[in-house]
Amino acid sequence: MKWNRIEVKLGSSILMLFLVVLLPLGFVIDQIFTGFYYTKAKSEIDHLSTRYANYIHSVEDAEILRMFEQLANLTHTELYIINKNGEVVANSGIPGLPKGTSVGQETVKSLALDHSLSAEYEDPVSHQRYVVSGKAVFSNSFFEGGIFVVSSLAEIDQSIYKIRQLLLLSGIGAFFLAVGFTFIISRKLSQPLIKMEEATRKISKGELDTKVNIQSNDEIGLLASAINDLSVELKRYRDNRQEFFANISHELRTPITYLDGYANLLKEGLYQSEEEKQQYLNIIQQESQRLIQLINDLFDLAKMEEGRFDLTFEQVDVAEAAENVVSKATLKAKKKNISLYLESEENIPFIYGDGLRIEQIFLNLIENAIHYTEQGFIKVRIFMKTNDTVGIIVEDTGIGIPEEELIHIFERFHRVEKSRSRNHGGSGLGLAIVKKLVELQKGEIRVTSKVGKGTRFEILFPIIKDETS
């Protein structure tokens, strides 16, 4: 057994506490009983000695003395009588004080002065203990001697001994009960902690399916469910990471394969004309750009997820940002015969964000819209959603996104149609970046779509006054 275990610590603390309570309690109970018996015995003989002293007027009369001795025998009490010199003149049977012996001048003096005394007396012969109550005997106001009623403490001592035995027995019983109780309680407390310790060790070794099975609604139960949540979270993180690396390698491999293939063609001179050579070089350039774009996107996304992405916050005119992007993208849209236009309400207040990043959001959404639309139009709308929210809508009449795909659309590398996406140089990171950028600027983004009809992205930005002012 390890001595630093919680069972031992808790157990010994409870036992200590128990002893601290039990020992003084036992002492007090003992004192109460002892006091009660002794006081009772003392008051009984005190009462008796007072009554006897009232009857006796002379300690010289042998007849009276004998009568008192007999009376003592009849009432099962012991007594002795002394004269004014302290000499024992009558004795009902106390072995240590035969007639003719003396009790000492101190006793006589104190009796003559106080008229009564009470004491404890141990017989030198039988070693029996007595309580003594003495009363002075007066005759015509002259001190004649004293009568002492004596009660043996043997019976009381016996009763007290029995009570002490009982107290001790119940104390030992209670102690063992406490030991058992403490053991059960400490086990009950430490067992779940041990389980949790084992579980966390397993989790730290990578066994992320580990579950702690503790059903209780106290702090221990809460800790167990926190450990379970932690393992689920770690598992999700690990799966995510694995998937992330698999996706990255896939995304990198495709352009690199192209680069390698076309570079080889050129190196081996496997082209028919200068035009074909230029075509290959164009592909190499496009793929290199795609690679650079992918790496930049990845880098940005990683920084955003780690919270290390720096935004330059300022008051931004969303309508102006939209206009800039729309005018840049118009040519691309025209090439596909799609009309791209911007509708903006008058006097849209500025929002608090990063101007360049707001443009990046527009660019990603509009470029996607152009790419996934074959005919119709793309409309960008800026409006006041509520008094303190600016709304942005980018909608198209394109191919749309199936309902079941909508919840995954903002995940990294998620694409509805892989080949189509690749054609326009998409990495599958565009919408993930858009969502992060929107959230970093305290906005929110939603998407609705109908296959064959079109897609609509709606972004809401709160109007916040410059936080630094």
Q: Which is nearer to ligand ADP, 133 or 421 (CB)?
A: 421
CB of 287 to ligand ADP, least distance (A): 15
Binding mask 346-385 for ligand ADP (x = CB under 6 A): ----------------------xx--x-------------
Q: Which is nearer to ligand ADP, 135 or 456 (CB)?
A: 456
- Name the one range near ligand ADP by CB under 6 A: 97-105, 199-207, 420-428, 459-467: 420-428
CB of 305 to ligand ADP, least distance (A): 15
- The site for ligand ADP, by CB under 6 A, has a size of 22
463 binds ligand ADP (CB under 6 A): no
Select the residue interacting with ligand ADP from 122, 198, 417, 466 (CB under 6 A): 417
Q: What is the 3-state secondary structure (H, E, C) of the chain?
A: CCCCCHHHHHHHHHHHHHHHHHHHHHHHHHHHHHHHHHHHHHHHHHHHHHHHHHHCCCCCCHHHHHHHHHHHHHCCCEEEEEECCCEEEEECCCCCCCCCCECCHHHHHHHHHHCEEEEEEECCCCCCEEEEEEEEEEECCEEEEEEEEEEECHHHHHHHHHHHHHHHHHHHHHHHHHHHHHHHHHHHHHHHHHHHHHHHHHHHCCCCCCCCCCCCCCHHHHHHHHHHHHHHHHHHHHHHHHHHHHHHHHHHHHHHHHHHHHHHHHHCCCCCCHHHHHHHHHHHHHHHHHHHHHHHHHHHHHHHHHCCCCCCCEEECHHHHHHHHHHHHHHHHHHCCCEEEEEECCCCCCEEECHHHHHHHHHHHHHHHHHCCCCCEEEEEEEEEECCEEEEEEEECCCCCCHHHHHHCCCCCCCCCHHHHHHCCCCCCHHHHHHHHHHHCCCEEEEEEECCCEEEEEEEEECCCCCCC
Residue nearest to ligand ADP (CB): 426
CB of 203 to ligand ADP, least distance (A): 33
CB of 445 to ligand ADP, least distance (A): 12
Q: Which is nearer to ligand ADP, 309 or 410 (CB)?
A: 410
Select the residue interacting with ligand ADP from 144, 251, 354, 396 (CB under 6 A): 396
Binding mask 165-184 for ligand ADP (x = CB under 6 A): --------------------
430 binds ligand ADP (CB under 6 A): yes
Q: Which is nearer to ligand ADP, 322 or 369 (CB)?
A: 369
Q: Which is nearer to ligand ADP, 186 or 421 (CB)?
A: 421
